[in-house]
Amino acid sequence: MKKMDDLKVSVGVSEMWDAKSAGIDVARKTLNGIGGKKPDFFLLFSTIHYKNYGGFQEFLNGVNEILPVGTILIGGTITGFISKEGCFVHGACAMAVSYPNMDIVTGIGRNTRRDPKKSANDCANMIKEGLKKSKYQNKFLIDLISGPTIPKVPGFGRVNYVKDKKIGNFMVKKGMDFAAKLGYGIGKEEDVVDELASIMPDFNIIGGSSADDGKFLGDFQFIGNKVFTESIVALGGCIDREVLMEAKTKVPKYRKTVKITETVYGSRIITKINNKPAKEEFFKAMGIFPEQFRDLDAFYYRTSDYFLLTFDEENQHSTGTGAILGDNILLGHKVRGDKMIISCISGNEIKYNFSSLLEKQEHNLSFMFGISSAIVDIFIMGNKVYNIKNVFDKKFKDVPYLVLQPILENGRIVGKKPFARGYSILNSLSF
């Protein structure tokens, strides 16, 4: 627990396997850190495992047995998290915040894949309405948006790698829209965040995409004692302290630029690069040619986490390969312009980026709530993620911190453009 004047912040972790027991454990530990009193808000996250060990309703029932009645809570499933207690890909974590000069409300928007703009509007309007009488001027929003799931198409099953060109073309023309109607496919988080930012221009925004353990089969979101899917949940606040937010990312040294000449599905699927079939030109740009591998598509898909794709020099819009559909490439986020930069990242470079960027941290923080890429921290770094934890421990040794590892990250610093991307080093929020 960190006390600065009357701001109190505590982080708790549980590794118990049973869902309700884990809920009780993480809530008790976190609440004890602020003296057992009712927090002004409670952020709660877990890995997907409790789905099969009692279920998320039992998990929330356990949490709410301990929390004082009426505690404001949002959260959901993430791939992993880091705190002073360790690096976790199984378990539950929470952050409790208590401060008197602050107003807090929650919002929710449903059907984020089918109608992302409406879901953003519904969520934003709930929060704006709830805060309209607040006398505090500094505003922030913490969100969790349902992330990508592998499409489940009748007759094809779950589809994220299609070698056959005819089936791939069918997926591009018909399958993706149909999957979205059924609640599968990419999360369309950038549409949600762009809409949030336009409706709430004076809010600093930090968040990520809810996820499972990397299988992309489903995810869950929480508000209070309720469990949701395919939704955005958010917590909005007004406070009399300065809201401190930073968003850090880094472009790898290896870079190759290609020209995108045709896209479909709202600029999320690349069909042509240099006026030729996208997949072949994409591989050529990386020096990989079809005759080199018996099954090139599968080879790339297994290693695609190491190749990040970005559309500007500052790397504000970066994504990865979501699926290979015949000759077409589905991205995690929209294409932003006709220039795409292909970069390759390594574990050593990731560690260096964390150290160098955190050394430039501008503020002395009272606590740190962070979002860092699960692709970077877990899928690429693996067990070496403890090298990243060591950087956090050194930088934030005197303050509580909790770093979530969602599958994708989003945010907006007031006065700057919103972003939804992968491969963030660290996005952070404090007061």
**Lowest-confidence region among 32-41, 139-148, 286-295, 329-338:** 286-295
How many C-alpha atoms does 391 have within 13 Å on its Cβ side? Answer: 21
Mean pLDDT of 186-192: 93
Residue 191 has pLDDT above 90, yes or no: yes
User: What integer pLDDT is reported at residue 207 of this predicted model?
Assistant: 98
Q: Which of 20, 41, 67, 92 is nearest to 402 (CA)?
A: 92
Query: Per residue in 83-130, pLDDT tens?
Result: 999 999 999 999 999 999 999 999 999 999 999 999 999 999 999 999
Give Cα 147 to chain centroid, integer Å: 8
Q: Which of 423, 396, 379 is nearest to 83 (CA)?
A: 396
For residue 3, what pLDDT band results from cuts at 50, 70 and 90?
A: very low
Distance CA 230, CA 219 (A): 8
Distance CA 192, CA 120 (A): 5
What are the angstrom distances between the C-alpha of 347 and each of 344, 351, 390? Answer: 11, 6, 15
Mean pLDDT of 405-421: 94
Rg, the chain, Cα only: 21
Per the model's pLDDT, the better-predicted residue between 211 and 292 turns out to be: 211
State both tokens at 47. 């890995």
Mean pLDDT of 215-231: 96
Query: Per residue in 59-88, pLDDT tens?
Result: 999 999 999 999 999 999 999 999 999 999
Burial 96-133 (b: 16+ CB within 10 A, else e): bbbbeebbbbbbbbbbbbbbbbebbbbbbebbbebbee
Mean pLDDT of 350-363: 78
DSSP for residue 152: E
CA angle, residues 13, 19, 25, in degrees to nearest 5: 35
User: What integer pLDDT is reported at residue 313 of this predicted model?
Assistant: 55
User: What integer pLDDT is reported at residue 156 of this predicted model?
Assistant: 62
Q: Which of 299, 300, 307 is nearest to 332 (CA)?
A: 307
Q: What's at 170, amino acid-wise?
A: F
Distance CA 34, CA 27 (A): 11
Residue 400 has pLDDT above 90, yes or no: yes
User: What integer pLDDT is reported at residue 325 of this predicted model?
Assistant: 87
User: What integer pLDDT is reported at residue 298 of this predicted model?
Assistant: 61
User: pLDDT averaged over the chain?
Assistant: 89
Per the model's pLDDT, the better-predicted residue between 363 and 404 turns out to be: 404
Give backbone dihedrals phi and psi of 19, rounded to 5 degrees, phi first: -60, -50
Mean pLDDT of 329-349: 87
Mean pLDDT of 280-304: 69
**Lowest-confidence region among 25-34, 159-168, 332-341, 420-429:** 159-168
How many C-alpha atoms does 48 have within 13 Å on its Cβ side? Answer: 18
Mean pLDDT of 334-344: 88
Mean pLDDT of 316-328: 84
Sheet holding 102-110, edge to edge: 102-110, 231-239, 138-146, 203-210, 409-412, 419-421
What are the angstrom distances between the C-alpha of 332 and each of 81, 179, 251? Answer: 21, 15, 17
State the pairing for strand pair 307-310/318-319.
antiparallel
What are the angstrom distances between the C-alpha of 289 and each of 307, 309, 346? Answer: 16, 19, 22
Please state, for a pLDDT cut of 90, what percent of the chain lies above it: 62
Distance CA 227, CA 74 (A): 10
